[in-house]
Amino acid sequence: MKSKLWITALIASAVIATGCSANNTNSESEEMDHSNMSEEEMKNMEGMDHSNMDMEGMDMENGHASHTNPLELNNSTGENELALPPLVEAKDGVVDITAQQGKTEIFEGVQTDTYGYNGSFLGPVIRVSEGETVTFRTKNDLLEPTTFHWHGVDIPGEGDGGPHQLLQPGASEDVKFTVSQGASTLWFHPHPEGSTAEQVYKGLAGLIYVEDENSKSLGLPDEYGVNDFPLVFQDRQFNEDKQFDYQAVRNEDGTIGDTMLVNGTLNPKLTVGKEKVRLRLLNGSNARNYTFKLNTGDSFQQIATDGGFLNEPTEMSEITLTPGERAEIIVDFSKYDASSDVALVNEADSILLPFKIDEQKTNTVAISETLNDYVVTEEEKNLSVTKKLELFGMGEMVYINDKQFDINRIDFTQKQGETEIWEIYNKPDMMGGMTHPFHIHGTQFKIVSIDGKEPPVELQGWKDTVAIEPDQKVKLAVKFNNKGIYMFHCHVLEHEENGMMGQVEVL
Ligand code: C2O
Ligand code: CU
């Protein structure tokens, strides 16, 4: 009976939230504060029939129940050339990385307060090679504590930059490790408990490229900023003064925005040659999912997942990335000319990135048909499940195995170098639930199966983040090459912050 009342309240608040203006999302979390609900009541949420809850604004969009805040993305007008992050490599084995605050002219003539690494907004691309020993010399020049987390990097736990490795304002820390993984596009961002989402939102994010012998010999476009471009996609909402006011727009189910920034550029366009171009896509958003396609309907080739190359270039007409995920694609612009209208668009046809073709720039590259030798072995397929995780809930009530994050609790242990099968189940709730991008620190894993079936070919490669839809069960083969404490969590940053995170200690 009580739970029925609760549903009524929920529907009412959903209606309110749908009807209210975009910068008023806070009312929702207040309306939906049911922190004094009992365990019993929460458990009841799952068994309910909500087939008749098909009301306006509650359908699914981008994997979100759009009652949260159905903010549509604006189209890029293409008036600004895309910013290219500086490319940095180690000097005498050292890369300096400083988190700092600054002001950035995102809108013409307006200074927006932002955060960045080695600059006022976002970060560089750090390029390292497999086998290289490198020291990331990190420094916190912010006025608040932060951490430096290397997302997707195979690194000892003490250097991973999770919530345990808090760096106070003014403090520095050397993180020394040997790059022990193959070519991939990884990234870095802060991870302090309780302020990850806000710090990322304000601009703390950068890319890490790992190169290896293989990546140099495949004939892939690899000239940085010429035919090989990083694309960091982040949706933001600005206030009237064109500032980020994270607390005002924070949404407990994931903060989304109506304004697309690519590499921090508003209304970007990218000038490319009449040739094959490699685009390294990162969904660096707090919560929004993207389904990337070309407005022409033409296909492109996917060549890499989060942590390495696919075995072969794979023809795709669209590709979905949830927060934290990456993909590398090759777009063949040789069939277009200067008058072509070509753009990267999102599923609802909002224009993310228009291209301008420079016909003077051409190059014929012959891309190898074989890129990698990734395989899920028979042995891995036959291993039994030794870790079970259940993702459940919404808003502030998000859980893994009925628990919320506690920095003093180790949820699992695993032996270094040993492969275990993790089974992750996304348990639907009364609203249907939402897709959770599940991420594990300090390793790249293999997707063994999704609902008992072999994953599609574009997921047959190394991953560190996997989108798990409501009611889906995903099996992962997970091996840690280093020791230490690592986080696993939902990469919707507000879910992570609300407790959808746990810790595995590798011994
Ligand atoms: Cu992208 Cu816990 O990290
Ligand atoms: Cu989530």
Domains and CATH numbers, the chain: 228-358 (2.60.40.420)
CA dihedral 6, 7, 12, 18 (to 10 degrees): 120
Q: Which ligand is closest to the CA of 325, given by its number?
A: 1
Cβ of 475 below 6 Å from ligand 1: no
Average pLDDT rounded to a whole number, residues 287-298 = 97
Q: Which ligand is closest to the CA of 152, given by its number?
A: 1
486: amino acid identity, one letter: Y
Average pLDDT rounded to a whole number, residues 183-194 = 98
Note the pLDDT of residue 291: 97
Cβ of 326 below 6 Å from ligand 1: no
Residue recorded with tokens 């929004």:
288
- The answer to whether residues 35 and 396 touch, using CB atoms and an 8 Å cutoff, is yes
Q: Are strands 64-65 and 112-117 parallel, antiparallel or unpaired?
A: unpaired
Express each pLDDT in 401-451 by its tens digit.
Answer: 999 999 999 999 999 999 999 999 999 988 899 999 999 999 999 999 999
Please compute Rg for the chain using Cα positions: 22
Neighbouring CB atoms inside 10 A of 470's CB total 18
Is the pLDDT at 40 greater than 70? The verdict is no
Strands laid side by side in the 133-140 sheet: 112-117, 94-104, 133-140, 172-178
Q: What is the pTM of this model?
A: 0.88
- The answer to whether residues 405 and 391 touch, using CB atoms and an 8 Å cutoff, is no
Cβ of 489 below 6 Å from ligand 1: yes
Q: How far apart are the C-alpha atoms of 314 and 300, rounded to whole Å?
A: 8
User: What DSSP state is assigned to residue 75?
Assistant: P
- The answer to whether residues 304 and 222 touch, using CB atoms and an 8 Å cutoff, is no
Q: Which two tokens stand for residue 407?
A: 């920095």
Cβ of 495 below 6 Å from ligand 1: no
Percent of the chain with pLDDT over 70: 86
Which amino acid residue places its CA nearest to atom 3 of ligand 1?
151
Is the pLDDT at 262 greater than 60? The verdict is yes
Note the pLDDT of residue 71: 85
Average pLDDT rounded to a whole number, residues 233-237 = 98
Is the pLDDT at 219 greater than 70? The verdict is yes
Residue recorded with tokens 């934290």:
324
Note the pLDDT of residue 363: 85
Cβ of 439 below 6 Å from ligand 1: yes
Atom of ligand 1 nearest to the CA of 191: 2
Average pLDDT rounded to a whole number, residues 175-180 = 98
Q: How far apart are the C-alpha atoms of 446 and 450, rounded to whole Å?
A: 11
Confidence of residue 349 (pLDDT cuts 50, 70, 90): confident
Indicate the length of the chain as a whole number: 507
- The answer to whether residues 294 and 257 touch, using CB atoms and an 8 Å cutoff, is no
Q: How far apart are the C-alpha atoms of 214 and 456, rounded to whole Å?
A: 24
Cβ of 191 below 6 Å from ligand 1: yes
Q: Which ligand is closest to the CA of 436, given by its number?
A: 2
Express each pLDDT in 77-90 by its tens digit.
Answer: 999 999 999 999 99
Percent of the chain with pLDDT over 90: 83
Mean pLDDT (the chain) is 89
Express each pLDDT in 473-489 by its tens digit.
Answer: 999 999 999 999 999 99
Confidence of residue 347 (pLDDT cuts 50, 70, 90): confident
Atom of ligand 1 nearest to the CA of 152: 1
